[in-house]
Amino acid sequence: MVDMAAQIADGMAYIERMNYIHRDLRAANILVAENLVGKIADFGLARLIEDSEYTARQGIWLHKTTFF
């Protein structure tokens, strides 16, 4: 459980570095692979931060990364 929490925290830090705000992080939006690697999903409400302003982005974006 602690490892999964660390993976989620690393994933959210990555999303922040890419200037995105997830806005709907919850258990239902965490995908878990057979090898117990967590992936953050459901970017339908995500927003891209540009020049200190929020810009709505449509669609779903899922970065295929293994978080350690």
Q: Is-catalytic flag, 24?
A: yes
**Selected catalytic residue, list 10, 24, 42, 51:** 24
Q: Sheet containing 20-21: which strands, arranged edge to edge? A: 20-21, 47-50, 53-56
Q: Which 8-state DSSP code applies to residue 55?
A: E
Report the distance separating Cα 40 and Cα 32, nearest Å. Answer: 9
Cβ atoms of 66 and 37 within 8 Å: the answer is yes
Catalytic residues: 24
